[in-house]
Every structure is written in C-alpha cells, then in structure tokens.
Structure 1
Amino acid sequence: MSRSEQPSRRTLLSAAVVAAVTSSAGPVSAHATPGRSAGPSGGSADPGAAAARRVGNRAWTSYSDWRAGGSEGTRAVAGVRPGLVIAKAAGTTDYTDPHTGRTAAWEYAIWTSPVHRLTVPATEAIVSWNAHTPDGTWIQAELQGTYTDGTDTPWYVMGRWAAGDQDVLRTSVDGQSDGRSTVWTDTLAVDDAASGLRLVSYRLRLTLHRRPGTKLTPTVWRIGAMGSDVPDRFTVPASTPGVARELIVPRYSQEIHKGQYPEYDNGGEAWCSPTSSQMIAEYWGGRLTEEQLSWVDPSYADPQVCHAARHTYDHQYEGCGNWPFNAAYAATFEGLQGVVTRLGSLTDLETLIAAGIPAITSQSFLEDELTGAGYGTAGHLMTVIGFTPDGDVIANDPASPDNESVRRVYRRREWENIWLRTKRYNASGKVASGTGGVCYLFFPARPTPRMRRALAAVGVR
C-alpha cells in the first residue's frame, strides 16, 4: 500500500479504463465536491448506481472438467483433489526470461478449456489459478475472449507463474492489446465501456512446462475467470446489518517490515497484500517450515511475511499486489485454494463470515473517508474478519504500527462505499478508479457443506 495519495502502479495502468468510465458517467451529484465523495449517508452520485452488481464466475476443478478440455500432452488425474499434469510433452520451446535475460529450453503440454459463455457480458475479466509447481516446472495461463460482435481477442497471457523463483521469475506481461481491450497487469479490460462492447464468452489455456528429459510436472487443481460489468458509481446503496461474528485470525503488521528486502516492492511499507494473504493462510492452518524460512534474516520478526512478499512478487508489475498471484500463493499451502472475485455487498461478506470464511478486500480512499484509519491510500488490501452487533466491519489492517494494533473496527457505511465504488476523487480532486468490490477468497480444498453454500451464495464454486 502507498500511504500517500500518490498514484499506485495499478492506478497508472488503469488510466485508460478511468477515462472510459468518466466519459460514460452520468452527472455527478450536486452534493459531491472535488476531493470528496458524496456523503456517507447520501444517495448515489450516478443514475443507476442502485443496479444489482453484475459478476460471473466459472472454474474448472473436477476430473470431468479437466477431461472436457482439449489436450495436447496433458492428462487429467482423479482423486481427492483432481488435477491436470503433463502426460507426454507436446514439444519443446525456448523461453527467454525478460527479467534475467536467461534463455532455456522447456518441454510443454497444453490444455484448452471449452468455451464458456458468460452469464454477464463483461467489461473486465480476471483469471486465477491454483497449482503445485515443483522446482524445474512452471505454468502459463491465457485467456481468449469473444466480443459482442462475434470477433475474438488475441490469446492474452494472464500470468507466467511458479511458486518459487529459481527457474523463471513470476511475471505479468505488459503491452497486450488489440485496440479494443487491454491487459493491465492481472485484469483484462474493454478499452471503451461506453461503446457497449463487451466480452460474451471466453476460453482459457494452460501451458505446463518442465525441464527437458525429466518426468517432472506441474499439477493444476483449479483455473477459472471472473467476468464483471460493474455499474459506474461514486457511492453505493446502504446495506442492512446482518449476523454479528468475529473470526480469530492471526494479526500481522506490514509496517514492522519497513526497509526489509527492498527488492520486493521497496520493502514492508508496500506489503499489504502478502501480509493479508499470510494472515488468512495461517487462519486455515497454513504453516511455513524452518527450511522455507531459512533465507530470511533471523533478526526479522514474522519472517513468514517476508516469505509471502517474495513469493507473491510480480517482476513486471514490480509489486506484491498482483491479485491472482496472491490467490495462487494461498494454494501453495496444503489443502487450501484461492480465487479472485468481486462481491456485491457487505451482505455477501457477512454470509462468508457466518460460514467461517474471512476475505481480503481491496479499496482506495482519502484519510477522511475512513474514520480511524489515519491514512489515505491509492490502493490497499485488508482482511475482513467479522462484524460487530451494529454491523460495523472488523478488519485486520496490516497498515498498523505493530501486530497488537492490527485489529480495527471501521464504520459500515464508510467501508462499503470505499470498497464497492468504481469511481472516487483523489487528493488532487481528480476522478480516479475504485476496485468495485474486488476480493481474494481463500478456503479449504474440501470445504464443509456450510462453506460450500456460503461460497455458492456469492457466486464461487
């Protein structure tokens, strides 16, 4: 997180999206002034802001899912956690790592999903995956979409990923566009939403790589995409408080890691995402071994946070806030899976909390828009762990001076607005983007029936 209102890299990358959003917006409410959103209890600043959120998820996880896809050298594996592996290499390719300059040969196999028709024609799509990549292996995830006019996008690379960094460096891919849509780090966005152009369907493609002449293989357990068409709005309708519950989640501060390992996005000051991810992984029982942590300076507290930063770091984005990379990191812990999605309300979060599932949410705000935070930010991740009897949000906020002060209570109306809006005013009074309800969900690979019902209720299966 950037503690100031300086633009984050994601804000800069999404400038074209913001421009399209601004051009399509209705008139701003007379009650909204530059540098401030409409009042916490005010109505929507845009016509139609009360419209239902529009989000659709599809994931391939089962043996029959993997069998249904097109295979060039891959094989579906049955069992408690079905997956996809290399059966026989389809060929060999050279890959030059753009961040090290090293060129190496890799055997590969390819799996392509069936076409999935989106339940919601989308302006944005985010792919996330869960995989095991032993040393000597890595994966590439791609998406090809179909527009409302029947034409196709190129195959867009949505991530080149490995759990470690000894073979290739984990990376997003910049510069991908066909003049109608563009990949911004981890998000595929239609360039001009006001034109009415949408993605109506897509296919996903996985390329599994291994060192030539070996029997090594990645195992992919889950791949899916979230497509969304989120209404333009500065404010969102108020929700009604539901059931109060607080989950006991480990508390870690990113701030105690200031100056540590600056090669990973300038050190702990920017580690809100991996710090939040580590909290949730440990809530579910995920633990790192002494061997895994042996590279960390022994004088540093909470070395697992340093580990999470290193293992979520995107070498192109130059940060630890790549959303799918954090979901994939969660799945490196045995028995866990992770997805990136958008939720539509605090009611959705309450449904998850009631079932024992915390969430990591992404939001941007001015200091006076979130009472008690004590800072403003162009982008920040927090862990929602519960709700008070009055409906206020209980969050583990990693932007706290120490672990003891991580638990915070934030006002419900303020929280839902800064998280769910798509548009806001920054400290300079200019229109900037909001995440529109983006969150990470980490949960067991074999969730309980109650968890499955809660996840299904928010559109995740």
Structure 2
Amino acid sequence: MTRPTSRRTVLAAALAAAAGAGTVASAGPASASPSLTSPSLAPSSPATASLVDNRFWAAYADWRCGSSAGTRAVTGRRPGLVISTPAGSTAYTDPHTGTTSTWEYATWTSPAHRPAVPATEVIASWNAHTPQGTWIQIELRGSYSDGTDTPWYVMGRWASGDTDIRRTSVDDQSDGRSTVWTDTLSLDDTTSGLRLVSYRLRLTLHRTPGSRLTPTVHRAGAMASDIPDRFTVPAAAPRTVRELPVPRYSQNVHVGEYPEYDNGGEAWCSPTSSQMIIEYWGRKPTSEDLAWVKPGLADPQVCHAARYTFDHQYEGCGNWPFNTAYATTYRDMNAVVTRLGSLTDLEKLIAVGIPVITSQSFLKGELTGAGYGTSGHLMTVIGFTADGDVIANDPASPSNDAVRRVYQRREWENIWLRTKRYDANGQVRGGTGGVCYVFWPVGPAPAQHRVLRSLGLT
C-alpha cells in the first residue's frame, strides 16, 4: 500500500480551510480532486467520461507540430522525438546527490491543447527511451479561464536508470491558484469557478556534452479532468465476463527488502502491480538487469520495479507517471495515466484483453474480503465474474497464491470512482475519481485499438 505524504495532507488542510469544511483530505499519492466541500454531497449523476480529456502526442506528424529548439521528429514503426543539434548547455545540480553536471539540451513545446472539459486537474505522462548519459524533463503550462497563465511547472525529471540523475518530482511549485502535488497539477480552490482551459507541454532532452547520445520520447501528453465531488457513483450494469491470465505477485513477500526504496515491499503496491502487467504482455527484465538484486530473493523483478519507479523527492514508488514510464522501458510498450468514467469503460478494456491498474482508498469494512484499509492503494483488475464482480490481483496479499481476489462489484465500483469518503473518525477524505494506468503493446490488435481509441488513449 502507498505511504501517506505530509505535503498532500498540508494541501488538503489548506483547501478544507478555504472551503470552510474543516477536514483533511486523503494523503495518498496524487490524490484526485483534493478540494473539500460539505459532507452532505448528493450522489453525482454526470458521466465521468464527459469530464475527462486525454491528449497524447505520439505520431510523426505530432512531433512535427509545436515549436522545436534542437529537436527533430523521427519516423519508423514507433515515431519519436530526439536531439538533432543541441540548443545549448546547462548546469544541473541534483538535489538528491549534490552533484552538479553540465548537459547539452534541446527542447520541444507542444501546440496549445484545449481540453473538451475545463479542468481542475491535469496529470502528465510520457513514454521514453533514455540511454545512459541522457535524461528528460517534462513541464506543463496551463491557461486559466480568466486569461492568465500558470508558470511552467516541472511534472518530472526522469531517466530510466539512476546513475546520471536521480529520478524526481519537484516540490513547492505554486502560483497561489494552482499547485503541483508530486505528479498532479491541481487548482487550489475548485469552488471559485476558475478552471484550466488549455495547456502546453515542454520537453527538454538532455545528454552528455559532446556525445551523440539522445533520449527518444515516443509519447507525451496529459489527462485533464473536472470530476465533481461525490461520495457515491451511479451503478453500471455488468456487461463482460472474462478473466485474463495476469501473473500474480505479492508486495508483502518483499517486506523489509531494500528499505531505501520506501521501506521495502510494504509500500510497493504500484511497482508490483506494474510488474504484473508488464509480464502479462510478455516482457520482463533480463538476468543482467537483475544482477544487482541480492541472490535468493523471491521475484527479484519486483525489487527491480521498485528501484526503477522510485521518486527520490516523494521518497516512494507510487508516482503514477513514473510507473507508466517504467513500463515503457520494455520493448514496444505504451502506457498512460488516465481516468475512466465507469466500470463499463474498464469492462471494455478487459473484454479485449487489456488489464488495468487502478488506484483507490477505503476503510477496512468498505471492501469485503480485503482485510485491510488504506489511504491509497494500487491493484490490478484482471476480469469480471458472471455476476459482474471484480476479479483483481491485489498485491496487498500475504503470498503470490493469495493475490487473486474477487471483490463485490458495487463496493469496488464506488471506492474507485468516488472523490470523497469518510475515514474512521468521520472526517472527509479524498478519493481518486477513477485514476488508473493502462499499458498496451505497440501494434495492438484491431479490437484493442478500437477500444483504446474510443477512450482517447491512442
């Protein structure tokens, strides 16, 4: 399960005070819709799908749009963006090592994208290859509905390895009206009517000076949303009966291992879930990749996933886009962070063979059979029973054999899609509002492509 973070608690408390609610929101990673309103909220009825907008740049034509300073688009089976002629050099002092190094860089800035929904939150994600000696920075600048702009916010400094820079989010980014909380850009007061009506991404590609190395960015974009505050969501009628053969891994097998990565396996729900789906798609780390893991440990690939999703600022493995970026370090994989509108959307993906990693929080008594409560947890949905119940590989299990769980449909649906909940003390806390990771291979089957496209993911 994910480790609570004090900075999210501070954000939620400030927003609660502004809204007059006097309560504290959930402290899980990238908590969705953190503003608080009265606990007497009625169930919402709008379809969440109409309140979510996805835009990802991935095609050759995409990379030729926008503005470039030293980058160029490349064609092929998997188009991308690379360094052509560096625009200059810059010194970067890694806050986690204290080391200052000089890097050549080039930039690409996307065209402005105007989401179909004026947004209260934006979450960026990206797919990239960063050979040793390279790394990338992802920034986002939004335009408010009053005609002003946010600063350029850093949404991540990322490399697939950890020898050149330490992979990191950036704290203390705010203009007094919006704030970046680890991996999520959120409006500070959603009751004010202010919204983000457009945004641009800026990618900065770095390499060792004088080399011909380059990162390659294959996909970059964001999910923008305005999910209403809600304690319950409408029920969706069952429509899919299928179970996918996803490998089963327990995070709890790794309790105490590599405590430098967020205290070991007890907090590794996100990388454990990511590893399950990576292997479902037939990818896995090589023996050379795993050579650093202590001999004799079970499922060393889970330790590997924890190390290579670890956010050195957040001090945890639950950074959402760092997990999707990790998945795409494997051959020909795509991955995004998004929100789905309902269990119907999730069933569409399962029906065509695409499992989904979901984020949720709940009290122990709210999910029958779980046996625990959590302020933030990732699990992998692998299917639906004939009764419509959710089949999940839940990494918060005592062993790999115990990972497969069947959860009651209505309970699971509500804890995943709501944005507000009560804690054990009766205080209002946050929910993720349908956040999930979706991984799929380059060249999906036609039926898979149709569903992905219908959800705005391709």
TM-score of Structure 1 vs Structure 2, range by shorter chain: over 0.9
CA–CA separation in structure 1 for the residues paired with 2:149 and 2:72: 28
Q: Compared with structure 1, are the counterparts of its residues 163 and 58 closer, same or farther at alpha carbon in structure 2 (3 Å cutoff)? A: same
Residues 257-276 of structure 1: pairs in structure 2 closer than 5 A: 257-276=254-273
Give the CA deviation at 1:349.
0.6
Q: Is residue 210 from structure 1 mapped to residue 217 from structure 2 by the alignment?
A: no
Secondary structure of 2:114's partner? strand
| Aligned residue among 41, 53, 57 for 1:46 | 41
Q: Is residue 283 from structure 1 mapped to residue 280 from structure 2 by the alignment?
A: yes
Residues 13-162 of structure 1: pairs in structure 2 closer than 5 A: 14-16=11-13, 19=16, 23=20, 46-47=41-42, 49-53=44-48, 54-162=51-159
Equivalent residue number for residue 36 of structure 2: none
CA–CA separation in structure 1 for the residues paired with 2:80 and 2:339: 25
Equivalent residue number for residue 330 of structure 1: 327
Equivalent residue number for residue 31 of structure 2: none
| Aligned residue among 196, 199, 215 for 1:199 | 196
Task: State the TM-score, normalizing by the size of structure 2.
Answer: 0.94
Q: Compared with structure 1, are the counterparts of its residues 252 and 311 closer, same or farther at alpha carbon in structure 2 (3 Å cutoff)? A: same
Task: State the TM-score, normalizing by the size of structure 1.
Answer: 0.93
Q: Compared with structure 1, are the counterparts of its residues 8 and 244 closer, same or farther at alpha carbon in structure 2 (3 Å cutoff)? A: farther
Secondary structure of 1:68's partner? coil
Secondary structure of 1:117's partner? coil
Q: Compared with structure 1, are the counterparts of its residues 286 and 22 closer, same or farther at alpha carbon in structure 2 (3 Å cutoff)? A: farther
Give the CA deviation at 1:50.
1.1
Q: Is the 8 A contact 1:24 1:194 kept in 2?
A: no
Secondary structure of 1:294's partner? helix
Residues 443-454 of structure 1: pairs in structure 2 closer than 5 A: 443-454=440-451
Secondary structure of 1:114's partner? coil
CA–CA separation in structure 1 for the residues paired with 2:188 and 2:136: 28
CA–CA separation in structure 2 for the residues paired with 1:172 and 1:449: 36
Equivalent residue number for residue 223 of structure 1: 220
Secondary structure of 2:237's partner? coil
Give the letter for the 2:41 counterpart. Answer: D
Q: Compared with structure 1, are the counterparts of its residues 353 and 414 closer, same or farther at alpha carbon in structure 2 (3 Å cutoff)? A: same
% of aligned pairs identical? 70
Give the letter for the 1:401 counterpart. Answer: P
Q: Is residue 253 from structure 1 mapped to residue 250 from structure 2 by the alignment?
A: yes
Give the CA deviation at 1:18.
5.6
CA–CA separation in structure 2 for the residues paired with 1:264 and 1:333: 21
CA–CA separation in structure 2 for the residues paired with 1:13 and 1:246: 40
Residues 250-399 of structure 1: pairs in structure 2 closer than 5 A: 250-399=247-396
Secondary structure of 1:306's partner? helix
Give the letter for the 1:331 counterpart. Answer: T
Give the letter for the 2:376 counterpart. Answer: G
Equivalent residue number for residue 236 of structure 1: 233
CA–CA separation in structure 2 for the residues paired with 1:285 and 1:310: 21
Q: Is the 8 A contact 1:133 1:217 kept in 2?
A: yes
CA–CA separation in structure 2 for the residues paired with 1:174 and 1:8: 12
| Aligned residue among 402, 406, 411 for 1:405 | 402
Q: Is the 8 A contact 2:250 2:397 kept in 1?
A: yes
Give the CA deviation at 1:19.
2.0
CA–CA separation in structure 1 for the residues paired with 2:18 and 2:438: 27
Give the CA deviation at 1:48.
6.1
Equivalent residue number for residue 35 of structure 2: none
More deviation in 448-457 or 207-216?
A: 448-457
Give the letter for the 2:147 counterpart. Answer: G
Give the letter for the 2:291 counterpart. Answer: S
Q: Compared with structure 1, are the counterparts of its residues 116 and 17 closer, same or farther at alpha carbon in structure 2 (3 Å cutoff)? A: farther
RMSD: 1.6
Q: Is the 8 A contact 2:57 2:63 kept in 1?
A: yes
Give the letter for the 1:340 counterpart. Answer: V
Q: Is residue 163 from structure 1 mapped to residue 153 from structure 2 by the alignment?
A: no
Equivalent residue number for residue 184 of structure 2: 187
Give the CA deviation at 1:454.
1.0
Q: Compared with structure 1, are the counterparts of its residues 103 and 69 closer, same or farther at alpha carbon in structure 2 (3 Å cutoff)? A: same
Give the letter for the 2:322 counterpart. Answer: F
CA–CA separation in structure 1 for the residues paired with 2:448 and 2:324: 18
Q: Compared with structure 1, are the counterparts of its residues 250 and 297 closer, same or farther at alpha carbon in structure 2 (3 Å cutoff)? A: same
Q: Compared with structure 1, are the counterparts of its residues 85 and 335 closer, same or farther at alpha carbon in structure 2 (3 Å cutoff)? A: same
Q: Where does the alignment leave 5 or more consecutive residues of structure 2 unmatched? A: 23-38
Runs of 4+ in structure 1 deviating by more than 4 angstroms, as ranges, are 6-11, 20-25
CA–CA separation in structure 2 for the residues paired with 1:283 and 1:195: 44
Per-residue deviation, residues 337-378 of structure 1 (Å, max 9, x unmatched): 110000111111100000100000000000000000000001
Give the CA deviation at 1:15.
1.3
Give the CA deviation at 1:282.
0.4
Give the CA deviation at 1:287.
1.3
Q: Compared with structure 1, are the counterparts of its residues 45 and 52 closer, same or farther at alpha carbon in structure 2 (3 Å cutoff)? A: farther
Secondary structure of 1:178's partner? coil
Give the CA deviation at 1:20.
7.5
Equivalent residue number for residue 173 of structure 1: 170
Q: Compared with structure 1, are the counterparts of its residues 178 and 276 closer, same or farther at alpha carbon in structure 2 (3 Å cutoff)? A: same
Give the letter for the 1:163 counterpart. Answer: S
Per-residue deviation, residues 104-157 of structure 1 (Å, max 9, x unmatched): 000000000001111100000000000000000000000000000110000000
The size of the alignment, in residue pairs, is: 440
Q: Compared with structure 1, are the counterparts of its residues 221 and 392 closer, same or farther at alpha carbon in structure 2 (3 Å cutoff)? A: same
Q: Is the 8 A contact 1:89 1:109 kept in 2?
A: yes
Q: Where does the alignment leave 5 or more consecutive residues of structure 1 unmatched? A: 26-43
Secondary structure of 1:222's partner? strand
Q: Compared with structure 1, are the counterparts of its residues 21 and 290 closer, same or farther at alpha carbon in structure 2 (3 Å cutoff)? A: farther
Give the letter for the 2:152 counterpart. Answer: W
CA–CA separation in structure 2 for the residues paired with 1:135 and 1:24: 49
Equivalent residue number for residue 37 of structure 1: none
Residues 450-461 of structure 1: pairs in structure 2 closer than 5 A: 450-461=447-458
Give the CA deviation at 1:447.
1.4
Give the CA deviation at 1:310.
0.2
CA–CA separation in structure 1 for the residues paired with 2:140 and 2:376: 26
Q: Is the 8 A contact 1:8 1:379 kept in 2?
A: no
Per-residue deviation, residues 304-361 of structure 1 (Å, max 9, x unmatched): 0000000000000000000000000010010111100001111111000001000000
